[in-house]
Amino acid sequence: MGGKNTMLNNLHLSSAQSFRCVGCSTKLLKNDLHFVPKRVVKLGLSSSERESKRFVRLVCSAVDDKTDSTHLNVNAIKPKPGISGGPQNDESTEGSPIYDFLFPNKELLPDDKEMSLFDHLEELRQRVFVSVLAVGACMLGCFTFSKELILLLEAPVSSLGVRFLQLAPGEFFFTTLKVSGYCGLLIGSPILVYEAIAFVLPGLTRAERRFLAPIVLGSSILFYAGIAFSYYVLTPAALTFFVNYAEGAVESLWSIDQYFEFVLVLMLSTGLSFQVPVIQVLLGQVGLVSSEQMFSIWRYVVVGAVIAAAVLTPSTDPLTQMLLAGPLLGLYLGGAWMVKLTGR
């Protein structure tokens, strides 16, 4: 640099040096400086001051391209509050059990391969075919031992002196078909449940898969417990009441078809009514009903249990209805306690 008016054409800076622009706080390095050609910078300093202090004040125009581009990218990517491309979920519903059940996150979904509609229909056809084949085989096996099954179902009234009659041609044959059908359906029901679960399992989340096993196991145990309760307690009590009520007035000669229809319907309805705790646990896990709400309506449950027993039982005697209403009320209270134990 010679005089006061010096042309900065070739400025050599070390990589460690840095400068700061006048009027801004941006720190500039060597690579960030862009000089305008033939830009004249006046240096109003004497040679003595230049030699003693070695101070040079540069008036330059520079742009920190890297810094500006980084800020622009961050501002473009950063979402603004209230403006997003996806749907805005309500804070009151997002994260709730109902919302997670209806709209599960991708992290909750299983890592299964996707299937087309045709593949789903083909799988459904195969599983229905397997279910029908299994139930049909169970019915055929029950028909082979139909007489033994009929004697087993006649046991609740065998000691009461009741006689069974065939009131129409072929009534006993069609009765054996009916008994074989009911018994085959009961025996083959685990296969039906398995095929149904295997079909819907790929569409369930991981949490729902873990929750499915105890629900299915508890439902099966309660169903067969209801059938056993109907066979050992409910059916003998109801039939004994009918026989004792008609004793001394008429002789008990019952139609074989009507008797088995009464017994089978009573057993099936009792098994279904024992599913009350399963329904309660499902409602509690989804978040529709809490345990406190279940306990608070126990008075209405008593009335509902009596009405349900009157509808489910094929007879109109109050003894059978009370015998079924009592377990229904106990199952409801037990289901409410189970919901409370799960923290719902």
What tens digit of pLDDT does each residue of 20-70 get? Answer: 554 455 555 555 555 444 444 444 445 545 544 454 444 344 444 444 444
Q: Residues 285-310: what's their mean pLDDT?
A: 86
Looking at residue 215, what is its pLDDT? 83
Looking at residue 177, what is its pLDDT? 92
How many Å apart are CA 175 and CA 169, to the nearest integer?
Answer: 11
pLDDT digits (tens, 9 = 90+) for 131-181: 999 999 999 999 999 889 998 988 888 878 788 888 888 889 999 999 999
**Residue 190 — pLDDT band, cuts 50, 70, 90?**
confident
pTM: 0.61
Q: Report the percentage of the chain scoring pLDDT > 70.
A: 65
Q: Residues 197-204: what's their mean pLDDT?
A: 78
Is pLDDT above 80 for 77? Answer: no
Q: Residues 287-309: what's their mean pLDDT?
A: 87
- A 10 A CB-CB count for 105 gives 8
